[in-house]
A and B are shown apart, each in its own frame.
Chain A
Amino acid sequence: MALLQISEPGLSTLPHQHRLAVGIDLGTTNSLVATVRNGISVVLNNGNGGAILPSVVRYLADGSVVVGEAAQAMQNEDAANTIVSVKRFMGRGLKEVGEISRLPYRFVGAPSPSVAPGNSQGGMVQLRTVAGVKSPVEVSAEILKVLRNTAETALGGELVGAVITVPAYFDDAQRQATKDAARLAGLNVLRLLNEPTAAAIAYGLDNAAEGVYAVYDLGGGTFDISILRLSRGVFEVLAANGDSALGGDDFDQRIHCWLLEKNRLSALGPQDTRLLLTHARAAKEQLTEHAETRITAALSNGEVIDNVLTRSEFHAMSQNLVEHTLQPLRRALRDAKLGVADIKGVVMVGGATRMPQVQHAVEEFFGQTPLTNLDPDKVVALGAAIQANLLAGNRSGGDWLLLDVIPLSLGIETMGGLAEKIIPRNSTIPTARAQEFTTYKDGQTAMSIHVVQGERELVSDCRSLAKFELRGIPPMVAGAARIRVTFQVDADGLLNVSAREMSSGIEAAITVKPSYGLSDAEITRMLQDSTQHAQDDMQARARREQQTEAQQLLEAVQHALEQDGDLLDQAERAQIEAYMGALRDTLQLTDHLAIKRAITALNDVTVSFAQARMDKSVAHVLAGKNIADLEIK
C-alpha cells in the first residue's frame, strides 16, 4: 500500500489527494528543493544522495541536456554550451546584462517584443548553443525540471505546486520570467517568495513577535541584505541592497592569490588555476572549524606546493571583503530609515556566512548574535517549503483562532440516505472543498442536493440545512455525468454550496448559514450520539451500501428483461426472476452480508444473459454495414 505521512491535527488528506507541495530555491550558483514531511521541513535528496544541484545547464549537439554536477564539470571545456549563473540573465535585455564581452556565451539579439505581445521573453537576451538558440527561461526550466523530478520521485506523486524563491530586488520582468520557467518545467507556481522572507519563515520568525529583521545573504557569487518588517504575520521588504559581484568565490580568490605570491608562481594555465581554486576553497572551509590548514598540490609542470594557512592570516587577507558587505548594510538601513538598534533579529543565509570572520563582523555591526543554527545553504528552500505547505492547504490549525473552525461536519446526502462529508468538522475557515458525484440512473436529468450537518453516517441522524436541485443535466447513462459539488465557507462562517455539471456547465447554488440555530448543547449532543452509535452506524452504513447496490442491480436486470427478454427461454427467465425475488427478500434483513450474497448470486445467474445481450447489440451495430465502412471509422 501507499506510504502515509503524519498530518497536522484535522488535516489528513483524502486518499489520492495528497497535496504534495515543495519549496524551490532557484539560486544563481546552486538550487535546492524542500518539502514538509511529517510536519518538518526537509531538503530532498536526489538519486545520487546529494541535495544541492549546481545551477549549470549544458546543451549537447544531439539536443540532449545535462544539468548539475555533470554539466559543471564541463564548464571550462565546453564553455559556450554550458550555461552558468543563468539567473543573472532572467528577464534582462542585452544592454542590461552589461558584461557580455567577458562571458563565454554567444548572445543573440532578442526577438522583437511585438512578435509575441505580453510574452516575457520578448526583449530578453538569448544564447546560441549547439542545440539551438535558448532563452534564459528555457535554461532555468531545465534546472526546475530536474528539481521537480527529484521531488516527485522522493514524494511518490505529482506535485500540486511549488513556491519558488526570488531575490527581493527582482522586478516584474524577472519575476514573470521565473514563473514562465516554472510553467515550462510543468510546475504550478503557488507563489513567488522573496528569498529573505523564506529564510525568516524557516527560522519561524513569522510566528515571532512583530518587528524588524535583517537577512544577511552571502552566497557563492552574490551578496544581498534585506530589511524586513513583520506585522500581523506578513513580511514587508523595507529595503534591499547588496553587491551582485561579491560572494564566497571572492574569498577563494584571495587564498588563490596568496598561494601564487607565496610560491612565486605566475601565469598558470586554466587547469592549474582550477586546481588551486579547488584547494583554496577546501582550505577556506577547513578554516571554519580549524585554526590552521595545510594546502598541498602538484602542478602540471611537476612543481609541488605545500603551504600552511592560519585562520588569522586568512582573516587578514579577506578583511576588506567582509568590510565590503557592511557598506550595503548601512545603505539598506538608511533607506529603511532605521538604526541598528531597531533590528530585532538577524538571519544568516548562504554558505559563505559559515566563515567565523563574517559571523563576527555581523555580530559586531548589529550588537547581537545572528541566527545561524539552520544550514545556511538550505534555509531559503526550507522556508519556501513551509510556505508551499501552507498555500497547498496543509496549514496547521495552530495559527487560527479557535472560533474559526466548523463545529460539525458539512456534507450532502448520497443514494441510500447516507451522509457524505465534504468539509470535516474542525476545519478552519475560510475553506473550500469540492467533490465529484455522478448520476444514479440512466437518463437522469436532475439531481437533488441535500446539505446536511453532523457526524452520523445516516442523513436521518444528521441535521438538514438546505435542499436544492440541479436541473438540465444532459441525459447520459448512469455514472457518466460528472457533477462537482463545491462547499465554500467564508470567513464569516457563511456556507455556499454550488453544484456544476462538468460537461454542460449548468450550475445551481445556495447559501446557508450552517451554525445558525445550533446551540452549544446541541452540538455536544450530536457529537456524543455519533460516538455512542459507532458500531450501529458501521452496520447501518454497510447495510445501506448493500441495499443501494441491490436496488441498482434489480433495476438494471428488470430493464434488461423488458428490453431483451426474448433472448431467454422460459426456464432461464424463471430462474433469474427467482433470484431477483430472493434478493428483494434480503433487503429487509439487517445482515448486510446476506444482501451481498444475494447480489453475487443474481450476478452469477445473469452472466450468460448479459453475454447474449452484448452479442445482440454488437450484431445490431454491425448490421447493414460493410467492412470498408467500419475500417474508416
Chain B
Amino acid sequence: MAITLTENAARHVANFIAKRGKGVGLRIGVRTSGCSGMAYKLEFADEVAGDDVRFASHGVTVLVDPKSLPYIDGMELDYTREGLNEGFKFSNPNVKNQCGCGESFGV
C-alpha cells in the first residue's frame, strides 16, 4: 500500500514548495479530533523524522508518521478547483463514516 498524489496535485505541491523556498516534501497524517473522530493533517515538511515512512509520487516526497499510516494507507490526494475555491481533496479507502464536509472522519 502507499499514499499517492495525482499528477496535478504533485505539480501544485512542487510549485508551492518551490515558492516557499524550503521544504523536503509533504507531510500527511491524522490526529484525533473533530466531529467524526479523526482529522487530516496536511503540512509542508522541513525535515524527515527518523521513523517517517516515505513515499514518492510524481517526484514529490510524501512523509507519513507510522502512527498515522494505518488510518490513511491507500489514500490518493488530488488538487481541484470548486468555484473560486481551490485545494486538496483526499480519497481515503479507510473511511467508514465522515462528517458532512468530510474534514473529519471515522475508521
Interface residue ranges, A against B (CB under 8 Å): 1-12, 14-16, 38-40, 45, 47, 153-156, 398, 420-421, 424, 455, 457, 530-531, 534-535, 537-538, 541-542, 545
Interface residue ranges, B against A (CB under 8 Å): 12-13, 16, 19-20, 26-27, 31-35, 37, 39-46, 51, 65-71, 80, 82-90, 98-99, 101-104, 107
Residues on the B chain within 8 Å of A156, using CB: 82-85
In the bound assembly, the distance between CA atoms of A14 and B32 in angstroms comes to: 10
Q: Say whether, besides A8-B44, A9-B43, A531 and B65 are in contact (CB < 8 Å).
A: yes
Asked if residues A39 and B69 are in contact (CB atoms below 8 Å), the reply is no
- With CB as the reference atom, state the residue of chain B lying closest to A11: B43
Q: Say whether, besides A457-B32, A531-B66, A5 and B51 are in contact (CB < 8 Å).
A: no
B41 → chain A closest CB, angstroms: 4
Residues on the B chain within 8 Å of A5, using CB: 42, 87-88
- With CB as the reference atom, state the residue of chain B lying closest to A42: B19
Residues on the A chain within 8 Å of B67, using CB: 455, 530-531, 534, 537
Asked if residues B32 and A541 are in contact (CB atoms below 8 Å), the reply is yes
Q: Say whether, besides A12-B41, A531-B66, A6 and B16 are in contact (CB < 8 Å).
A: yes
B52 → chain A closest CB, angstroms: 10
In the bound assembly, the distance between CA atoms of A156 and B31 in angstroms comes to: 23
B2 → chain A closest CB, angstroms: 17
Asked if residues B42 and A420 are in contact (CB atoms below 8 Å), the reply is no
Partner pick for A16 among B44, B85, B98, B103, CB 8 A cutoff: B103
Residues on the A chain within 8 Å of B34, using CB: 14-16
Between A4, A40, A155, the greatest number of chain B beta carbons within 10 A of the residue's beta carbon is seen for A4
Residues on the A chain within 8 Å of B104, using CB: 15-16
Asked if residues B26 and A6 are in contact (CB atoms below 8 Å), the reply is yes
Residues on the A chain within 8 Å of B39, using CB: 12, 14-15
Q: Say whether, besides A7-B42, A9-B46, A545-B37, A534 and B70 are in contact (CB < 8 Å).
A: yes
When A and B form their complex, what is the total count of cross-chain residue pairs whose Cβ atoms lie within 8 Å? 117
B97 → chain A closest CB, angstroms: 11
Asked if residues B43 and A7 are in contact (CB atoms below 8 Å), the reply is yes
Asked if residues B84 and A154 are in contact (CB atoms below 8 Å), the reply is yes
- With CB as the reference atom, state the residue of chain A lying closest to B35: A15
Asked if residues A10 and B89 are in contact (CB atoms below 8 Å), the reply is no
Residues on the A chain within 8 Å of B37, using CB: 545
Residues on the B chain within 8 Å of A45, using CB: 84
Asked if residues A1 and B98 are in contact (CB atoms below 8 Å), the reply is yes
Between A15, A39, A455, A531, the greatest number of chain B beta carbons within 10 A of the residue's beta carbon is seen for A15
CB-CB nearest 4 A-B residue pairs: A1-B102, A3-B87, A15-B103, A15-B34
Asked if residues A40 and B20 are in contact (CB atoms below 8 Å), the reply is yes
A482 → chain B closest CB, angstroms: 15
* Interface majority SS (helix, strand, loop, mixed), chain B: mixed
Residues on the A chain within 8 Å of B32, using CB: 420-421, 457, 541
Residues on the A chain within 8 Å of B103, using CB: 1-2, 4, 15-16
Partner pick for A6 among B13, B82, B86, B107, CB 8 A cutoff: B13
Residues on the A chain within 8 Å of B88, using CB: 3-6
Asked if residues A3 and B86 are in contact (CB atoms below 8 Å), the reply is yes
Asked if residues A535 and B70 are in contact (CB atoms below 8 Å), the reply is yes
In the bound assembly, the distance between CA atoms of A208 and B46 in angstroms comes to: 20
New A-B pairs, 14, CB < 8 Å, besides A3-B88, A9-B27:
A1-B90, A4-B40, A6-B88, A7-B43, A8-B43, A12-B40, A15-B101, A16-B35, A16-B103, A156-B85, A420-B32, A421-B33, A535-B70, A541-B32
In the bound assembly, the distance between CA atoms of A249 and B47 in angstroms comes to: 50
In the bound assembly, the distance between CA atoms of A153 and B83 in angstroms comes to: 8
Residues on the A chain within 8 Å of B46, using CB: 9, 398
Residues on the A chain within 8 Å of B51, using CB: 531
In the bound assembly, the distance between CA atoms of A542 and B70 in angstroms comes to: 13
B25 → chain A closest CB, angstroms: 11
Residues on the A chain within 8 Å of B80, using CB: 3
B71 → chain A closest CB, angstroms: 7
Asked if residues B44 and A542 are in contact (CB atoms below 8 Å), the reply is no
Residue contacts A-B, CB under 8 angstroms, 14 given: A3-B87, A4-B88, A4-B89, A4-B103, A16-B34, A16-B104, A39-B16, A155-B85, A421-B31, A421-B32, A530-B67, A534-B66, A535-B70, A545-B37
A149 → chain B closest CB, angstroms: 11
Asked if residues B66 and A154 are in contact (CB atoms below 8 Å), the reply is no
- With CB as the reference atom, state the residue of chain B lying closest to A13: B39
In the bound assembly, the distance between CA atoms of A541 and B106 in angstroms comes to: 11
Asked if residues B69 and A534 are in contact (CB atoms below 8 Å), the reply is yes
- With CB as the reference atom, state the residue of chain A lying closest to B16: A38
In the bound assembly, the distance between CA atoms of A7 and B44 in angstroms comes to: 6
Q: Say whether, besides A4-B90, A15-B99, A39 and B44 are in contact (CB < 8 Å).
A: yes
Asked if residues A538 and B107 are in contact (CB atoms below 8 Å), the reply is yes
Residues on the A chain within 8 Å of B84, using CB: 45, 47, 153-154, 156
In the bound assembly, the distance between CA atoms of A8 and B41 in angstroms comes to: 10
In the bound assembly, the distance between CA atoms of A4 and B75 in angstroms comes to: 15
